[in-house]
Structure 1
Amino acid sequence: MGRTGYLALVGAGALYAGRRLVDRVGIGTRVLDTGLEPVLLTGLSMAAVLFALLAGYDIFGSYLLARTESKRRRHDVRNLLRLVFGGLALIAGFGIITREWVSVLFSLGVLGFAITFALQQPLFSLIGWLYIIVKRPYRVGDRIAIEEMRGDVVSIDFFVTEVWEIGGDLVSTNQPSGRIVTVPNSTVLSARVVNFYGEGVQSVWNELSVQVAYETDVAFASELMVETATEQLGEEMAQQVAEYRERLHETPVELDVNDKPTVNIVQQESWVELRLRYIVHPRRGTRAKNALYETILARFNDHPERVKFPVSRNR
């Protein structure tokens, strides 16, 4: 972007100069009993305006995008510019053809009321897009859940949001299924939207559950699980918890957030369940859980006299 805009600006100037020349010299030729001069003047005016709007979109867009570091913001800025300049092109086109700007604006207002009933869903989706841009329930790159679908947002257009599905019917873990799911933007106005990336906190709490027998030294096993999690996630978790606390400080919510992993003990009918609680990046949840399981089970097996597993058939 940028160079194309300046070329379009030159083209707009040349087209406007051509229109002035035709208007001054005049063309008396007629085609099918229609004067060629009015048609040519209208066509040159239309082309000049469209080239000028293209130049404005390209130059202004290049200026804004160059000063926008976030890839997500650039996506939103590009869509907003398309909407604004597309609307200006539509109004300018009708105004040039009819030469009645006030009538055009009035007609567009009346037409807007008429198409509201005929195009309810597209309009609701456009309103949903405006809501997404303003309120930010999710952005490009976020991992979200809408109704029964979960995935990573890859695109937010005027009417639909494209999501790279995770889980679903094809896989059972939090891994991409390879399918792209298209969700109407109007869904955010009526359905529950879960964003796994909180504002300023790109992490979620996760749990890992291990079942042990009643004969187990529960305190020892719990300490071993916390030690393992701290070794693998401690530094990263401390940073994420700091961000989490900073975000909580901006809200009226008061929660006690632990700096380190913790273990909750749940008594079941034939065994004891040790639930390791820790914080992790949403995209690394499965990888982290697998690594923790492997290490924790290996350490438990190194201490068979203190950690025992249930063997009951009711397990």
Structure 2
Amino acid sequence: MTHRIHHNSTYWILIFSISGLAFLGLHYALKLNFVSGIEEAVPALKKITFCGFLLMMVLLIGKLFRKFIISQIHSEGDKYNLLRVNRLMTGVFLAFVTASFMFDNLYTTVVSLGLISLILGFALQAPITSFIAWLYIVFRRPYKVGHRIQINGMRGDVIEIGYLDTKILEVSGDYVQNDRKTGRVVYFPNSLILKDQVINYSGPQIPFIWNETAIQIAYTSDLKFVEKCLMDACLNDFEKRYPKRDVKTRKRWYPEVYFRVNTFAWLEAVISYPVEPNDTTGRRTRILTGALPMLNAEPDKVQFPEGSMR
């Protein structure tokens, strides 16, 4: 895929370069009056050819920047945002060059664009606010493509950040629990981040967040044994899931077991552990399926709640 994109960019760079040189050649050829009988049209043709040359140069520079971003930026989120900015700036310069050649001078162009912007500003307040919020997202980076976020009661994985709205793949929702993907796509205007808090699951301890799982045990259980079983299950799963990460040498990722008193007649053994935001349910399941057989194998050391209050 990357090779195909690279080849496609090279193709368009070549096309824009040749087209730009062709327009520039025609522009100077018209100055030499090689063709007779079109003297009245020469000023307009010179203007058109020079405009075409500038347009090709803008497109060429845009493609060069795009090629650089794709090849040199490794973060998918940063790459996505920079490509959006590059596309926007290319469009702005294309519009400016075209408008400047439609009027007699630059002052007229600026005044005309200013009046148009003023009118559109009143008519399109909501979209403009969302566009400003998009600039905030690009430069402040409260979230990027691939991040799991929560905003205004919505939770999901960011799959697209547009100029006016953000698209997320919903997690949890009305019908699914435990951080499972629902398959539904949620759109919200970018302006929402300017008036509501954004919770980003991709915090400073990337790629992990912290989660915890509790099991209920009797007061007469061997707490040291329970702690060992939970820790072993958690560490074994971590080593299998993330073989290139050494949890034992990274204290910030080391799990911890603590105990708390339940409202009813039992204790809760709680294990706190690092997990990727999109693997919370799977990791919890693997820890439980690893720990429970060890706990059930020693009924003399571990007792579970019994009776109607269980």
TM range (shorter): 0.7 to 0.9
Letter in 1 for 2:13: G
Q: Is 1:162 the equivalent of 2:184?
A: no
* Residues 240 and 145 of structure 1, relative CA distance in 2, 3 Å threshold: farther
* Residues 127 and 164 of structure 1, relative CA distance in 2, 3 Å threshold: same
Aligned partner of residue 271 in structure 2, secondary structure: strand
Deviations 1:163-209 (A, max 9, x none): 12222234223232222222221121111211111145221111111
% same residue: 26
Which one of the candidate residues 124, 127, 136 is aligned to 2:132? 127
Quick one: distance in 2 between partners of 1:298 and 1:64? 51
Aligned partner of residue 94 in structure 1, secondary structure: helix
Quick one: distance in 2 between partners of 1:207 and 1:292? 10
Deviations 1:97-149 (A, max 9, x none): 11311221233233323322211111111111111111111111111112222
Aligned partner of residue 2 in structure 1, secondary structure: helix
* Residues 239 and 124 of structure 1, relative CA distance in 2, 3 Å threshold: farther
Matched pairs, number: 298
Contact 1:42/1:97 (8 A) holds in 2: no
Q: Which one is further off, 196-205 or 222-231?
A: 222-231
Q: Is 1:101 the equivalent of 2:96?
A: no
Letter in 1 for 2:211: N
Quick one: distance in 2 between partners of 1:100 and 1:165? 51
1:286 is aligned to: 281
Which one of the candidate residues 182, 186, 194 is aligned to 1:181? 186
Deviations 1:221-276 (A, max 9, x none): 23322232233336959756977x7xxxxxxxxxxx57332223233222222211
Residue 86 of structure 1 deviates from its aligned partner by 0.9
Q: CA RMSD in A?
A: 2.8
1:267 is aligned to: 262
1:114 is aligned to: 119
Letter in 1 for 2:305: P
With normalisation by structure 1, the TM-score equals 0.83
Quick one: distance in 2 between partners of 1:190 and 1:266? 39
Quick one: distance in 2 between partners of 1:229 and 1:64? 40
Q: Any stretches of 5+ residues in structure 2 without a counterpart? A: 1-8
Quick one: distance in 2 between partners of 1:291 and 1:60? 45
Quick one: distance in 2 between partners of 1:205 and 1:194? 14
Which one of the candidate residues 265, 272, 281 is aligned to 1:277? 272
Letter in 1 for 2:76: K
Deviations 1:59-110 (A, max 9, x none): 2321343222222222122111111111111111110011311221233233
1:11 is aligned to: 19
Which one of the candidate residues 304, 308, 314 is aligned to 2:309? 314
Quick one: distance in 2 between partners of 1:219 and 1:67? 51
Quick one: distance in 2 between partners of 1:171 and 1:140? 23
